[in-house]
Amino acid sequence: YVHGPNNLCLFVLFKRKNKAVTGIIYVKGLVDREEESILKLFVVARDRGPSSRIKSSKVLVTINVTDQNDNAPSINIQGIGLVKYQDGVSKISEDLPVGTPVALVQVSDRDEGENAVVTCAVDGDVPFQLQPASDQKGKYFLQTTTLLDYESVKNYSIEIVAMDSGSPALSSTLSLIVQVTDVNDNAPNFSPATIEVDFPENNYRGQKLLDLVATDPDSGINGQLVYSIIDRFAKRLFEVDANIGEVRVRTVLDREERERYVFCVAAADMGVPRKTVMNCSF
């Protein structure tokens, strides 16, 4: 400390009004490395001589802002190929091969160093996993790990967790829904496959013989069934409602002329390609 008005220096920030007699630079607000990692400012020192003889000098001060782990990782999900991703939902067909990518997942962290080293994984017991998409860090394919079956599970709720390597570590979670769409992979089914019916002779035309019911676990048109009689001869004697499988007698039957009839009814779905099953009645 030197006495004397011409040797007592004031330290101020260049182009700022704040002044200090100590030369200590204080932080006036929050500093964010992610916004500006290097701060540069001039410090001016001037003496207290007469105004006409004031002497001053300035120095450039460079402040390198060090990182703190104050940012959690961010997760972004996009569609890939023919699989669209919209409003948090991806739709995929149930017949996709194992290992098919259904989404592109990108993770990043605004911090640096270890604070920006991010690991990413699928949380929970679901048939999906993340695999690196390329040598570039932070990009992953969300892939199937097993064959999917629409009839078993139609929707999967998937949580993707990203965690950085800071201390303490910060993490983020992003959820998406994978909707499995149906393909025509199931044929209709009659149970039982063979039916024997006792029917009185001298019936009236149009009298109901029996109801045939087939089932198909597929959805939409893949599970919509149409019934038809296969045998040409049987079509002259019997008819079936194409929509509900109700079988009726078209003519009057006479046991003395014939006591047993055998014919087959087919149930076909409306999928592409169509699948068919037959039921034989006696």
- Residue 81, phi-psi category: left (phi > 0), alpha (psi -120 to 50), beta (remainder): left
pTM of this structure:
0.71
Looking at the chain, which residues constitute the CATH 2.60.40.60 domain(s)? 74-181, 189-281
Residue-wise pLDDT for 219-273, tens only, equals 999 999 999 999 889 999 999 999 999 999 999 999 999 999 999 999 999 998 8
- Domain 189-281: give its CATH superfamily: Cadherins (2.60.40.60)
Rounded Cα distance between 99 and 270, Å, is 30
Name the percent of the chain lying above pLDDT 70: 91
Rounded Cα distance between 279 and 187, Å, is 13
SS3 assignment, position 174: strand
Residue-wise pLDDT for 98-116, tens only, equals 999 999 999 999 888 898 9
Residue-wise pLDDT for 144-180, tens only, equals 999 999 999 999 999 999 999 999 999 999 999 999 9
Rounded Cα distance between 21 and 277, Å, is 98
Rounded Cα distance between 236 and 24, Å, is 109
Of 58 and 100, more confident: 100
In the CATH hierarchy, which fold is given to the domain comprising 74-181? Immunoglobulin-like (2.60.40)
In the chain, the amino acid numbered 128 is: F
